[in-house]
Amino acid sequence: MKKSILLVSLLGFIFGCATIKPVTPLGGDLYTVSAFHKLDALTAANKYCDSLEKKILVKDIREEAQNSWASVVFKCLSPDNPEFHPPDYEKPTDPITRGTTKGRPGK
């Protein structure tokens, strides 16, 4: 019994490690990685950017429902890169007061 549990555990470890494909550069700071589970793909992408001493910016995640594979397209960027900070937009005009929503309670 103990041998069968050990064998199942060992096989799970071996096949579990093989369920993450290597990170592939797509050009510039853009990369992709695929794994059997979405969390594994995101973890691999994050570790890759950490190894470059950069931060991850996920651009796309695609999951295949029939076999649970997930692909993550991501960028590795320096923390001060402007892509991490969305532009400041002015709030829309309030149709009732014809003014901006700045200063209104609860807005």
Q: Which CATH number fits the domain that encloses residue 64?
A: 3.30.1660
Q: Is residue 66 part of a domain?
A: yes
**pLDDT attached to residue 70:** 95
In a domain, 36, yes or no: yes
pTM strictly above 0.85: no
Residue 70 in domain: yes
**20 in helix, strand or coil?**
strand
Closest CA to 58 of 96, 84, 19: 84
pLDDT digits (tens, 9 = 90+) for 47-75: 999 999 999 999 999 998 777 899 999 99
Residue 38 lies in a domain: yes
In a domain, residue 10? The reply is no
**Domain-located, residue 44:** yes
Distance CA 73, CA 65 (A): 18
Tally of domains in the chain: 1
Instruction: Give pLDDT tens digits for 5-54.
Output: 444 344 444 454 458 999 999 998 899 999 999 999 999 999 999 999 99
The answer as to whether 105 is a domain residue is no
Range of the domain at 24: 20-78
Contact between 54 and 77 under an 8 Å Cβ cutoff? The reply is yes
